Structure 1
Amino acid sequence: MTTKKMEAISIAGLDKPVSKLILGSMLLNDERMDVSAELLDAYAAIGGNAMDTAQVYGPRGMGAIGKWSAERGNRSGLVLIVKGAHHDEKGPRVTRAAVEADLAYSLGLLKTDYADIFMLHRDDPDKPVGEIVEMLQEPLQAGLCKALGASNWTTARLDAANAYAEAHGLTGFACNSPNLSLARANEPRWPGCVSTDADDLAWHERTQLPLLSWSSQAAGFFTGRYAPERRDNEEIVRVYYSDDNWERYRRATLLGEAKGADANQIALAYVLHQSFPTCALIGPANAEELRSSAKALDVALTPEEIRWLDLKDDSLKR
């Protein structure tokens, strides 16, 4: 199998690069290893090495990655992201016990003794950031993870947490994983989720903290499966339907026609061409969808095109 080299970013604490496209695990299934292994092999063939998992997603995806990695003998080249401490029906669970339990559960399924990145899947805004940072030193020191990340934290809390870590000689968060997509969310897709706004983008530009975007393709908003008059998917209507987003879709389509790409590939390229390090989490259902998304890696966008796509400029100079 021929393996390409994919553009990658560096994340503090890791001794290997992180591919710009990160494979989500939610559609993998260890009870259908023929399908899952085909997708994982296709991802490796385009140069991908990073996979996103979470305790709250259940065992099937992590189980598939663990079986595939053990059979291929490629663990050392992978970047495995494990998210944990997601809230439950009782509320926030950003606790030492939850971190320990979720890490043990995930590592067992992944058939490995460490995560490359351990991410808190949610924040507990009522808990002081210093207490959380102190708690997260334990899995680092035990070798259960190499780097720390935060998913669905505000940049204000991230800033405070990393300031605390620096002041106390501790390891802070090496990456952030909110939603960033060309289609802006009207409201959170799920409770407790964080989508980037202009202030967040400015913060990332200033700090250069890597951003690993979930729902980078806005749940297929740019694929053509939705239209203003088609309103059967209530969740997508609620989260993404707006005049501004339809205009972004129109501009992505126009720019794609000029660049030999489709609107979905342009939207993904938008995430990958920010002024700070970014990766995009993608969730293809099969190898064909994966290869279609991967074409975004060949799309070059200028800062002027980024601004035009995001409605910051009314016209695009050529």
Structure 2
Amino acid sequence: MPYSIQPPYSPAAERYERMQYRKVGVSGLRLPAISLGTWHNFGDDTPLMKQRELLRHAFDLGIIHFDLANGYGPPQGSTEKNVGRILAEDFAGLRKELLISTKAGYPFVPGPNGTGGTRKNILDSLDISLESLRLDYVDIFYSHRFDPETPIEETASALDEAVRSGRARYVGISSYSAARTQQMAQELRRLGTPLLIHQPSYSMLNRWIEQGSPSLLETTEQEGVGVIAFSALAQGLLTNKYLHGIPEGSRATQGKTLREGMLSEENLDRIRSLNAIAERRGQTLAQMALTWALRDPRITSLLIGASRTEQLDDVVASLEGPELTAAELEEIDQYAQDGGLNMWAASSEA
């Protein structure tokens, strides 16, 4: 995908001044409070110039963590290839400042062994990702989902091998239940490769990680594991996008990730009520949603997608906003209730 030649990228000198950095669990690694996800807007359906602009702007804001997965696109796999090209052409001298993560576990390679948590699939997928990204290693490599067809010991052994072979610096898991998280953490500890981080969905309208006894948050704290939450803006619901109906061109009209029922009147009423609280605080709804999600020190980082650089500015501005008061948190709890948004429940309940 060609794009016009631009001047060499020179990152902003003040890039680390606006961003907050948080330790990941009991490790010494620090992630930015806001990380950039590439689930959308980095496939072949988005001009490469726009992708490059987003990555550059994110880095200028101190967002040093870019999160990918083997199947992101469209088409499947194109995101890693596109980001890999941009990393090679724009960030070649900045690799040591960057944190790059990717994942494996959902169907990717044709055939019966191209999915799941098997040692073959996990390690084969990592090799493909590294080739696409034009990297020798990733900083964090995830098991993207729990695979009930594969012993957790086998998945753990593949993650352990990824680190021991130098293809990954750390390993994580995504959308595992509290019980499965504990199992994986204990197995990886036995192998000598600590579980660094868990990546669950989490937002005001999707609070599953707080539920259960022990909850996922209680389990990660007990095991010394960090948490990086995705979909903190509920696929765009917790922005001003849907306050006055469904705009043309939004995800709701594209059939991407907003499924039928998510834009229910009940959810829209909650969103409007939450927006009123945000306005009183002098924040956008998105900014308050991020402030709320980061209120818990067990949350290391929030994984945010963006289609415009202005959205990144708005997100980072949330870090400069006032803390939520006890009265505000109590009022928010009236509306921050489950809205049927956890599309990953089957994996997290396995």
Give the structure-2-normalised TM-score: 0.76
Q: 1:204 aligns with which of 204, 214, 217?
A: 217
Once structures 1 and 2 are overlaid, which stretch shifts more, 262-271 or 7-16? 7-16
1:118 and 2:141 correspond: yes
Which among 234, 237, 244 is matched to residue 221 of structure 1? Answer: 237
Find out whether 1:79 has 2:103 as its counterpart: no
Kept in 1, the 8 Å contact 2:116–2:150? The answer is no
Q: 8 Å contact 1:12–1:147 — kept in the other structure?
A: no
Q: Give the SS at the match of 1:146.
A: strand
Residue 340 of structure 2: aligned partner: none
Partner of 2:192: 170
Match of 2:160 among 108, 123, 137: 137
Measured in 1, the distance between the counterparts of 2:313 and 2:119 equals 40
Report what 1:316 is aligned to. Answer: none
- Equivalent in 108, 125, 131 of residue 108 of structure 1: 131
Q: How far apart, CA to CA, are the structure 2 residues paired with 1:37 and 1:101?
A: 28
**For residues 84 and 220 of structure 1, what CA distance do their matches in structure 2 show?**
25
Whether the aligned pair in 1 keeps the contact of 2:33 and 2:300 (CA below 8 Å) is yes
Conservation of the 8 A alpha-carbon contact between 1:14 and 1:116: no
Shift of 1:141: 0.5
Cα distance, 1:9 vs structure 2: 1.9
**By how many angstroms is 1:114 displaced?**
0.7
CA contact (8 A) 2:24 2:300 kept: no
Deviation at 1:290, TM superposition (A): 1.5
Distance 2:311 2:158 in 1: 40
Question: Is 2:279 the counterpart of 1:257?
Answer: yes
Q: Name the aligned partner's letter for residue 74 of structure 1.
A: L
SS at the partner of 2:71? helix
Whole-angstrom distance in 2 between the partners of 1:312 and 1:223? 15
- Equivalent of residue 148 in structure 1, options 154, 171, 184: 171
Partner secondary structure for residue 118 of structure 1: strand
Give a deviation string over 1:262-288, Cα, whole Å, max 9, x none.
112111222122241331111110111
Give 5+ residue unaligned stretches, structure 2: 1-11, 337-350
Instruction: Determine the structure 2 residue equivalent to 1:11.
Output: 24
1:170-201 deviations in Å (ceiling 9; x for gaps): 3242111111011228xxxxxxxxx5352288
C-alpha deviations, 1:27-74, integer Å up to 9, x for none?
125783322221111101111000110111134322333233223321
Q: Aligned with 2:68: secondary structure?
A: strand
Partner of 1:69: 87
In structure 2, the partner of 1:99 is 122
Of stretches 123-132 and 42-51 in structure 1, the one that deviates more from structure 2 is 123-132
Shift of 1:121: 1.0
Determine if the alignment matches structure 1 residue 36 to structure 2 residue 56. no
Q: More displaced, 215-224 or 12-21? A: 12-21
Structure 1 residue 242, shift from structure 2 partner: 5.2
- Tell me how far apart the structure 2 counterparts of residues 122 and 21 of structure 1 sit (CA, whole Å): 22
| Aligned 8 A contact 1:161 1:172 in 2 | no
Count of equivalent residues = 304
Amino acid at match of 2:86: W
Query: RMSD of the TM alignment (CA)?
Result: 3.1
Verify the 8 A CA contact 1:92 1:123 in the aligned structure 2: no
For 1:129 and 1:29, the matched residues in 2 are separated by: 31
CA distance in 2, matches of 1:119, 1:9: 19
Instruction: Check 1:147–1:249 CA distance in 2 against 1; reply closer, same or farther (3 A cut).
Output: same
1:27 aligns with 2:41: yes
The CA deviation at 1:107 is 1.2
Distance across 2 between alignment mates of 1:202 and 1:304? 24
Following superposition, the deviation at residue 85 of structure 1 comes to 2.2
Structure 1 residues 88-139: Cα deviation after superposition (integer angstroms, max 9, x where no partner): 6859521111112211111122221111100011111243322322232111
Q: Which amino acid is the alignment partner of residue 49 of structure 1?
A: I
* Structure 1 residue runs without a partner (length 5+): 186-194, 314-318
Please say if residues 213 and 280 of structure 1, whose CA atoms lie closer than 8 Å, have aligned partners that are also in contact: yes
The range that moved more, 239-248 or 95-104, is: 239-248
Partner SS for 2:55: helix
Task: Tell me how far 1:163 sits from its aligned partner.
Answer: 2.4
104-113 or 3-12: bigger deviation: 3-12
Provide the rounded CA distance (Å) in 2 between the counterparts of 1:238 and 1:266: 25
Q: For the Cα contact (< 8 Å) 2:209–2:217, is it kept in 1?
A: no
> Structure 2: how far apart are the matches of 1:264 and 1:82?
26
Larger RCO: Structure 1 or Structure 2 (Cα < 8 Å, ≥ 6 residues apart)?
Answer: 2
User: Aligned partners of 1:101 and 1:66: how far apart in 2?
Assistant: 18
